[in-house]
Amino acid sequence: MTRIFKVRVFERLTRKTDVDDEALAKAIKEADDGLIDADLGGGLIKKRVARAGGGKRGGYRTIVAYRSGIKAFFLFCFPKNAKDDLDPKEEKSLKEIGAKWLGYSEEQLATEIEAGRLFEVKHGKEEA
């Protein structure tokens, strides 16, 4: 099962929205099943996420550092109606950030969670 994380910036952005962990887990399940909205290269994908109680149409676009079946890090989100795509500078920066997170060992991830810089999304069997 893919481990799913939110970086601190993403956590702050989504506190002000109605995007919940259930929607994030569903998005990664879809990605694991091959349903990716856009592959941006360098381990980044774009995935639409529904608002709580709503559909994807009025939802958010998220940028995720992703390794299928292993790890996913939600890095950035924005309302679909706010902008269509990342500009090249944003994309380059997010690829660098994503590569860093994807390269972290289990010990480094535990340290980042303990320090409050990373939040794990509980889903599936982990919730029991």
**What are the pLDDT digits (tens) for 77-119?**
888 777 777 889 999 999 999 999 999 999 999 999 999 999 9
Please give the residue that has the higher pLDDT: either 56 or 119. Answer: 119
Answer whether residue 127 shows pLDDT above 50. Answer: no
**What are the pLDDT digits (tens) for 34-55?**
999 999 999 999 999 987 666 6
Do the beta carbons of residue 75 and residue 82 sit within 8 Å? no
Residue 128's pLDDT band (boundaries 50, 70, 90)?
Answer: very low
Residue 19: predicted pLDDT: 83
pLDDT, mean of residues 17-46? 92
* Domain ranges, ordered by start, for the chain: 3-122
Contacts of range 101-109, beta carbons closer than 8 Å, 24 or more positions apart: 101/5, 101/7, 101/65, 101/71, 101/73, 101/75, 102/43, 102/65, 102/67, 102/71, 102/73, 109/5
